[in-house]
Amino acid sequence: MSDKRIYKLIKLLVILFGLFPEQVLKFFSDLLGLIWYKIDKRHRNVVLKNINYAYPDRFSDVQAQRFAKNNFKHITGILFEVIWSYSKNRDELFKRFSVKGLEHLENAREKGKGVLCLTCHMGNFELLSAAVGKTGMEPYVLYRKLDFKPLERFMREMRQRFGTTVIPLRKASKKINMILKKGGVVGTLLDQNVDWYKGVFADFFGRPACTNNGFAKLVLKTRAPVVPMFIRKENDKHIMEFLPQVPLQITGDTIRDIENNTQNYVSAIESMIRKCPEQYFWVHNRWKTKPYCPLNLS
């Protein structure tokens, strides 16, 4: 089957599933989350390990397992909410969103250097680009392309429905510079593990986490203000919140500046997660890269 036909099939299935009442989708979402939790031992163990790292001695074994089950249900809920939202128009979808802290973004925009919005895999991050549309802006979002082309095409269209423009990460630096010079707003995620040669280690919940250093380099080059933002769900509403700008540290020592600023960005992300830890993407092995490189002497 060609990529074009697979894309049309994906679109058709999403439209058909979207015809179901929201409560029916919620039932199937929770059921799928529990099944995923039961059969996927690898990711189940990643979640249990991660929450033990982040919150040592906070959960009993039973509590940790309950937390993990709910986290799996939350993640499958992201998928089903995307399906539900596909058939909704702008007004219907925007009724589900509320915005807090918009003054932090507006203050940053007044500086005339564009704005870099820093976020993470929190809440329904797939709806975040749509939620930003409620502010009246037309932002740009950096994203990593999916290998499966039909799904990549569908997700790209989903993210761009309400004015957001998505930019593939690869070779994006020139385009980002142009956008910022024109006073644009660019959003990006900074909470995924990278190989040691691509990042620096920053304290994340008390443990060293290898973090992409490209974001700090971009900020040091452009001097664009950085405004943290995240989305979380309360009942049937999604709340998008902007936080105060992260101050830029400049000492003249490039390596130290990259490390210090990356740490500040990671700390901002941690503060977002602590507000609503059950809605974070704990299935990602955030501490996979260790702060050493063992030698093979055999």
Residue pLDDT, tens place only, 195-212 = 999 999 999 999 999 999
- Residue 297 above 60 pLDDT? no
* The residue to which tokens 């058709």 are assigned: 12
Distance CA 193, CA 121 (A): 12
More confident residue, 129 or 36: 36
Instruction: Say if 172 falls within a structural domain.
Output: yes
Distance CA 86, CA 228 (A): 27
If you average pLDDT over residues 28-56, what whole number do you get?
Answer: 97
If you average pLDDT over residues 182-187, what whole number do you get?
Answer: 94
**Mean pLDDT across the chain, nearest whole number?**
93
Instruction: Say if 293 falls within a structural domain.
Output: no
Cβ-proximal residues to 213 (8 Å cutoff; 6+ apart), any chain: 198, 199, 200, 258, 262
Distance CA 27, CA 208 (A): 38
CA distances from 271 to 54, 75, 157, 214 (A): 12, 20, 31, 21
Task: Compute the chain's Rg from CA coordinates.
Answer: 20
Instruction: Say if 292 falls within a structural domain.
Output: no
If you average pLDDT over residues 123-127, what whole number do you get?
Answer: 92
Residue among 212, 202, 93, 86 at smallest CA distance from 144: 212
Q: pLDDT grade, residue 235 (50/70/90)?
A: confident
- Residue 152 above 90 pLDDT? no
Distance CA 190, CA 261 (A): 12
Residue among 44, 121, 82, 131 at smallest CA distance from 280: 121
Instruction: Say if 21 falls within a structural domain.
Output: yes
Instruction: Say if 288 falls within a structural domain.
Output: no
Instruction: Say if 182 falls within a structural domain.
Output: yes
The residue type at 177? N
In percent, how much of the chain has pLDDT > 90? Answer: 70
At 80, give phi and psi (nearest 5°).
-70, -30
Give the total number of structural domains in the chain.
1
Instruction: Say if 298 falls within a structural domain.
Output: no
The predicted pLDDT at position 169 comes to 84
Listed range (35-39, 82-86, 265-269, 275-279) with the worst mean pLDDT? 82-86
Instruction: Say if 284 falls within a structural domain.
Output: no
Helices 22-39 and 61-86 meet at what angle, rounded to 10?
Answer: 140
Is the separation of the CB atoms in 256 and 220 below 8 Å?
no
The residue range of the domain holding 211 is 3-279
The predicted pLDDT at position 138 comes to 81
Distance CA 115, CA 139 (A): 10
Residue among 172, 173, 143, 137 at smallest CA distance from 156: 143
The residue type at 265? Y
Q: pLDDT grade, residue 294 (50/70/90)?
A: low
Output the pTM of the full model. 0.93
